[in-house]
Amino acid sequence: MLQDSAELDQELVRALFDIRGELHQAAGGSDYAGDLHADLRAARESGPVHAAPVGEVLGHSYRTGVLAEHSAPIYSAFDFATVNTVLRDPDVYSSAVYDSVSEMFGKNILQMGGSEHTRYRGLVQHSFARSMVPWWADNWIEHIVEVLLRRIEGQGRADLNLDLCALLPLLTITSSFGIEWHQALQLRTYVETMLGAGRPKSERLAASAAIADMLRPVVVERRRSPQDDLITVLTRETIVDENGDRHLLGDDEILGFARLVLTAGSGTTWRQLAIVLWALLGHPDQLDAVQRDRSLVRPAIEEALRWEVTDPTFHRLVTRDTVLGGVPIPAGAVIEICLAAANLDPARWADPERFDITRPIRPHLAFATGPHVCLGMHVARAEMAIALNAVLDRFPRLRWDPQAPRPALLGLTMRGPAEVPVVFS
């Protein structure tokens, strides 16, 4: 695989995973560079619910994606209790707000609700369960981490955002779908085009079709010759339809799952792993503590997830007139829930804006909660833990590169550092 890694075009990696670049600027909010903790504190202290999107409450006006697709009123929620309520009550706050993604993704669990969501999510839930972490680690994660770190160890310095964080989740999830390394960046290009805010619909649909064209031969091959991977799992699963009849998943159903999982699996963990490294490098005493005592790896990851979550906002469609946080909200409105603000709520955590890996671990909302809690959270945690342990093993003198500017965290919709420049010689 080291030879395969040579085929990863570094300039294309930079274009695809530069949070300041054109692809991410188009998503809206990614150029936010304010003091997010202070801005979220002010928003939360002025009330748990606001009659405006998160960005506008924070003084950054943008409306793309879900916000641009709905002409209904938009509200936002900022404290832990209120955000937790929204996520745990799908009858009132529905994920049908994401119905429009089915045109690009195909039928998928993101916008499903009720028993349909339970049935379809159950098809792959076991593959992403905590008990399956060794399967992911042994088949893909550990070897990919080894290859990526071997590529840079002789250089003495690196940008871990691009050299490790971006590539690890991409190569893990694409490998689990039978996609070769030399195709992985091309697939991510299609994903970015499919998601591309402001791109013509025809281009987005063409990218969605290109992903299907890349995956269909793998589906055919796995039906004929099963392997120990995720695409094989999907070809073997059966579903009970609304008429009570059981059938194998068809190609379109498999492709709907695949587009969603490939999109999520190759995106968010990249930025969150970079945030973990950014947080520890910025607190060298805590980095040293983790280096000395690896039992602190998990607390460090959980604290970074709480302290700076990479996807700060999610959305729900209000299905009936309701009152949330004392604010009347009409049916048909969109509620934008701010996970980042909820995770910094002083009603739940003492001194919440301080990064502290010795803090007692309490459930946070970085992976959301309720029926739509992140499917891949255990895999994401495993990727981060394996990567962090390997970095500390291989580079015990890891520190910020003194010749590079200290990076800041950027973004409201997709948050993370634009680079993680380090030296380790």
Res 197: pLDDT: 64
- What are phi and psi for residue 60, nearest 5 degrees? -130, 100
> Of 370, 352, 383, nearest to 314 (Cα)?
370
Whether 117 and 107 have beta carbons less than 8 Å apart is answered as no
Burial class (CB in 10 A: 0-12, 13-18, 19+), 59: exposed
Res 19: pLDDT: 79
DSSP one-letter code for 282: T
Enclosing H/E stretch for 158: strand 157-159
Show Cβ contacts of residue 19 under 8 Å, excluding neighbours closer than 6 positions: 30, 271, 410, 411, 414, 416, 417, 418
Max Cα distance, the chain (Å): 64
Whether 182 and 28 have beta carbons less than 8 Å apart is answered as no
Segments in 74-200 forming alpha helices (H): 80-87, 102-105, 114-125, 133-136, 142-152, 160, 167-176, 181-195
How far apart, in whole angstroms, are the C-alpha atoms of residue 219 and residue 234?
9
How far apart, in whole angstroms, are the C-alpha atoms of residue 161 and residue 416?
9
Res 3: pLDDT: 46
Q: What is the pLDDT along the chain (425 residues), one digit of tens a residue?
A: 444 565 688 888 888 888 776 556 655 566 777 899 999 999 999 999 999 999 999 987 766 666 767 778 999 999 999 999 999 999 999 998 888 777 788 877 877 888 888 888 888 889 999 999 999 999 999 999 999 999 999 999 999 999 999 999 999 999 999 999 989 999 999 998 888 767 888 998 999 999 999 999 999 999 999 999 999 999 998 877 777 778 888 888 889 888 988 888 888 899 999 999 999 999 999 999 999 999 999 999 999 999 999 999 999 999 999 999 999 999 999 999 999 999 999 999 999 999 999 999 999 999 999 999 999 999 999 999 999 999 999 999 999 999 999 999 988 888 999 999 999 98
User: Kindly report the CA angle at 142 between 138 and 146, in degrees rounded to 5?
Assistant: 145
Q: What is the DSSP string of 6-21?
A: TTS-HHHHHHHH-TTS
How far apart, in whole angstroms, are the C-alpha atoms of residue 349 and residue 300?
16
Res 29: pLDDT: 60
Res 23: pLDDT: 56
How far apart, in whole angstroms, are the C-alpha atoms of residue 256 and residue 191?
13
What ranges do the domains of the chain cover? 2-395
Whether 407 and 9 have beta carbons less than 8 Å apart is answered as no
Quick one: fold of 2-395?
A: Cytochrome p450 (1.10.630)
Q: What is the DSSP string of 303-357?
A: HHHHHS-SS-EEEEEE-S-EEETTEEE-TT-EEEEEHHHHTT-TTTSSSTTS--T
> Of 367, 360, 327, nearest to 343 (Cα)?
367
How far apart, in whole angstroms, are the C-alpha atoms of residue 33 and residue 347?
26
